[in-house]
């Protein structure tokens, strides 16, 4: 690569070489570097130095003695995110947490009930839920919470319909219709998988009836005015998406951008639908706030912790509204590693770091504020993306991608500032390939790192204090799945063992991991030679809870002995990722014998 191109790449933070999963230098193809630079409109002058917002840390010379706060063109951020209490809590996929009153999937009413029970009866301090980000209206509904239309707004499928005040204000015949729809929806609770499309059909019919009720319109309009432009854009996009299904890039040219000439006319023509979608967001905000209130009043020191997905649907709401900040013709992914030798393409468009900075980081701030609204914490999925993201040019394989650097110091400062304003803790998902220095920087900024038992070979006393500790994650085997090799069975059945790897080789590797974990458990006196699978499930959670890590988490499905992991990476339709309900309804959690044992063990250690 010639010096001029290499210099331009360095100026824009584009890697011309990176260390692969084994630490070996991997040169980046020149075509990749040129494609990435083209996507950033790179010039020989480099990215502009001017920025409408400077982020500095309190107590530094740049802060000039000012306390934490926002000033003209300057944000004085705290040095760290707020420190969490030492506590334990649940990790839950909300859609999976069905009660007998659910309309086919867990909802925000179920979340409030789970929070009250967890805190008052079990002494839990937090509930980490999957991203509740918005999906596109219409069918089919996107199953993955990590491929949202927007990270700034919520998915109305999580609304608890019969708990909305509007139900009581309906005309008698309309109320009967909603109750009938509810009965149809509750029948879905017996289905082996969560059927979002069926839930969407039934809830949408109920929402249309409830939308006619005028009793609380003053409160709604106040919310709408308070949310301003962001909500207006999202509601307009939603109305347009109903008229033009599919990615916005396929829409008529006159509405492909928020400032396109036909958008104003469409807003007028679709005014009722625009209002409808804004109204749904108001209801989501109300019920989410109620869930957090229930958690706090029941005694949770943290309450709800919301997960922040790493990106958005390239044809969705945020991509439409913020397309000038996104890199055209690029997606985010991961380079090849030992498990996936072809690398990964997550189909998510990356922010341009130069445009993000030029926008005063407004898109990032709006997103973080939205996730932290009425929450006690935020989990940043793939937190390494605050430092760099792996870009894959359109038409190329992930093996041909490269890393692009982001202004991590500014982004971490903003995150610390927004967490302080919300009184919330921050958790970094920093698993996988992590460049040197990133874990230390995250911890210096007050974020908890992720400590997972399957990757640890230390006694609990050696685990970090500044960590979010768990047995597993939604992308890894459950406790029972680990001990019984259920994940290997599924991977072998679907041909997902990786290139050249046999079932016998993978089982031998799993056996070695199980032997290592069992030795750790035995050294702590948590299992004997005759331990059953249930004994081992209880033991691994006691082991994690014994660690000095600030927050210890138990996956709700794990405590119920579910062998199925919520998501199997590398699949879309072959495996029911993001569609598996918990094996026990929420109403019966307190009576489950394995859950009772897990909770007792965790509380004894905490």
Distance of alpha carbon 378 from alpha carbon 551, whole angstroms: 13
pLDDT at 340: 72
Average pLDDT over residues 383-389: 97
Structure tokens at 373: 């609204």
3-state secondary structure of 448: strand
Eight-class DSSP state of 158:
G
3-state secondary structure of 588: helix
Task: Give bridge partners of residue 88 from the DSSP assignment.
Answer: 552
CB 143 within 8 Å of CB 325: no
C-alpha distances out from residue 188 to 98, 99, 196, 279, 487, Å: 10, 11, 10, 26, 27
pLDDT at 21: 86
The 10s digit of each residue's pLDDT in 52-62 is 999 999 999 99
The 10s digit of each residue's pLDDT in 117-130 is 999 889 999 999 99
The 10s digit of each residue's pLDDT in 171-203 is 999 999 999 999 999 999 999 999 999 999 999
Eight-class DSSP state of 574:
S
> Strands 87-92 and 303-308: what pairing?
unpaired
Distance of alpha carbon 541 from alpha carbon 471, whole angstroms: 7
pLDDT at 2 over 80: yes
Distance of alpha carbon 32 from alpha carbon 434, whole angstroms: 22
pLDDT at 214: 83
% of the chain at pLDDT higher than 90 = 93
CB 465 within 8 Å of CB 550: yes
pLDDT at 601: 98
Helix, strand, coil percentages for the chain (3-state, nearest 5): 45, 15, 40
Average pLDDT over residues 330-338: 90
pLDDT at 339: 64
What's the order of all strands across the beta sheet hosting 126-129?
425-428, 377-380, 303-308, 126-129, 87-92, 551-555, 467-470, 449-452
Task: Give bridge partners of residue 333 from the DSSP assignment.
Answer: 345, 390
pLDDT at 531: 97
Q: What are phi and psi of 270, to 5 degrees?
A: -105, 25
Instruction: Say if residue 537 is exposed, middle or buried (CB neighbours under 10 Å; 0-12, 13-18, 19+).
Output: buried
> Strands 17-19 and 551-555: what pairing?
unpaired
Average pLDDT over residues 349-358: 97
Structure tokens at 153: 């707004």
- The DSSP result for 203-259, as a single string, is HHHHHHHHTT--TTHHHHHHHHHHHHHHHHHHHHHHHHHHHS-S-GGGS-GGGSSTT
CB 460 within 8 Å of CB 543: yes
Distance of alpha carbon 351 from alpha carbon 324, whole angstroms: 9
pLDDT at 517 over 80: yes
Distance of alpha carbon 463 from alpha carbon 3, whole angstroms: 45
The 10s digit of each residue's pLDDT in 80-101 is 999 999 999 999 999 999 999 9
3-state secondary structure of 345: strand
Confidence of residue 276 (pLDDT cuts 50, 70, 90): very high
Which residues have C-beta within 8 Å of that of residue 15, sequence separation ≥ 6?
9, 28, 388, 402, 403, 404, 405
pLDDT at 49: 83
C-alpha distances out from residue 13 to 57, 91, 137, 408, Å: 23, 36, 37, 12
pLDDT at 602: 98
CB 18 within 8 Å of CB 402: yes
Within 13 Å and on the Cβ side, how many CA atoms surround 33?
22
> Strands 303-308 and 150-154: what pairing?
unpaired
* Distance, C-alpha 438 to centroid of its chain: 20
* Distance, C-alpha 526 to centroid of its chain: 33
Beta strand ranges found along 256-415 (DSSP E): 303-308, 330-334, 344-348, 377-380, 388-393, 402-405
pLDDT at 338 over 80: no
pLDDT at 388: 98
Ranges 45-59, 308-322, 527-541: which has the least confidence: 45-59
Structure tokens at 110: 């179920």
pLDDT at 501: 82
H/E stretch holding 485 reads none
> Strands 74-77 and 69-71: what pairing?
antiparallel
Q: Is the peptide bond before 481 cis (omega within 30 degrees of 0)?
A: no
CB 537 within 8 Å of CB 558: yes
Instruction: Say if residue 502 is exposed, middle or buried (CB neighbours under 10 Å; 0-12, 13-18, 19+).
Output: exposed
Beta strand ranges found along 273-354 (DSSP E): 303-308, 330-334, 344-348
H/E stretch holding 144 reads none
Closest-CA residue to 234 (of 198, 199, 276): 276
Which residues have C-beta within 8 Å of that of residue 579, sequence separation ≥ 6?
95, 143, 193, 194, 195, 196
Structure tokens at 290: 């109620």
Eight-class DSSP state of 399:
G
Average pLDDT over residues 120-147: 97
């Amino acid at each position: 690569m010639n010096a001029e191109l290499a210099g331009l790449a360095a100026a824009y933070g584009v890697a011309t070489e990176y260390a692969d999963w084994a630490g070996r230098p991997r040169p980046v193809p020149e075509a990749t570097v040129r494609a990435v630079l083209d996507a950033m409109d790179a010039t020989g002058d480099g990215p502009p130095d001017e920025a409408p917002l400077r982020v500095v840390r309190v107590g530094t010379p740049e802060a000039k003695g000012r306390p934490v706060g926002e000033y003209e063109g300057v944000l004085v951020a705290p040095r760290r995110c707020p420190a969490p209490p030492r506590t334990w809590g649940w990790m839950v996929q909300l859609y999976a947490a069905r009660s007998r009153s659910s309309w086919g999937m867990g909802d925000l009413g179920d979340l409030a009930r789970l929070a009250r029970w967890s805190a008052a009866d079990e002494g839990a301090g937090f509930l980490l839920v999957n991203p509740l980000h918005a999906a596109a209206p219409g069918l089919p509904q996107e199953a993955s919470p990590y491929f949202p239309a927007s990270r700034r707004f919520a998915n109305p499928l999580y609304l608890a319909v019969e708990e909305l005040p509007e139900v009581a204000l309906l005309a008698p015949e309309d109320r009967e219709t909603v109750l009938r729809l509810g009965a149809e929806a509750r029948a879905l609770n017996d289905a082996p998988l969560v059927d979002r499309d069926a839930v969407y059909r039934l809830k949408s019919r109920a929402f249309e009836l409830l939308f006619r009720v005028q009793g609380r319109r003053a409160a709604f309009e106040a919310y709408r005015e308070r949310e301003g432009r962001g909500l207006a854009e999202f509601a307009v996009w939603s109305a347009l998406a109903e008229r033009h299904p599919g990615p916005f890039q396929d829409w008529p040219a006159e509405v492909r951008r928020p400032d396109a000439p036909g958008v104003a006319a469409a807003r007028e023509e679709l005014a009722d639908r625009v209002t409808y979608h804004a109204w749904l967001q108001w209801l989501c905000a109300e019920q989410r706030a109620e869930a957090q209130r229930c958690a706090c009043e029941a005694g949770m020191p943290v309450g709800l912790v919301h997960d922040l997905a790493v990106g958005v649907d390239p044809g969705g709401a945020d991509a439409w509204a913020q397309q000038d900040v996104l890199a055209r013709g690029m997606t985010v992914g991961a380079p090849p590693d030992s498990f996936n030798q072809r690398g990964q393409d997550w189909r998510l468009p990356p922010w341009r770091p130069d445009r993000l900075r030029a926008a005063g980081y407004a898109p990032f701030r709006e997103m973080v504020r939205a996730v932290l609204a009425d929450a006690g914490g935020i989990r940043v999925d793939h937190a390494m993306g605050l430092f760099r993201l792996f870009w894959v040019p359109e038409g190329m394989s992930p093996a041909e991608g490269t890393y692009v650097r982001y202004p991590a110091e500014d982004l971490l400062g903003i995150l610390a500032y927004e967490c302080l304003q919300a009184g919330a803790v921050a958790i970094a998902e920093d698993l996988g390939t992590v460049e040197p220095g990133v874990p230390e920087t995250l911890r210096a900024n007050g974020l908890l790192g992720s400590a997972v038992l399957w990757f640890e070979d230390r006694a609990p006393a050696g685990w970090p204090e500044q960590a979010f500790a768990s047995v597993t994650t939604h992308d890894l085997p459950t406790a029972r799945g680990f001990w019984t090799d259920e994940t290997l069975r599924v991977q072998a059945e679907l041909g997902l063992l990786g290139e050249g790897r046999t079932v016998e080789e993978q089982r031998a590797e799993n056996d070695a991991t199980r032997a290592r974990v069992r030795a750790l458990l035995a050294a702590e006196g948590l299992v004997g030679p005759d331990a059953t699978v249930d004994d081992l499930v209880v033991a691994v959670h006691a082991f994690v809870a014994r660690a000095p890590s600030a927050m210890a988490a138990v996956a709700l499905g794990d405590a119920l002995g579910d062998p199925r992991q919520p998501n199997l990476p590398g699949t879309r339709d072959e495996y029911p990722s993001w569609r598996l309900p918990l094996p026990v309804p929420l109403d019966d959690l307190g009576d489950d014998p394995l859950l009772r044992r897990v909770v007792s063990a965790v509380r004894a250690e905490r």
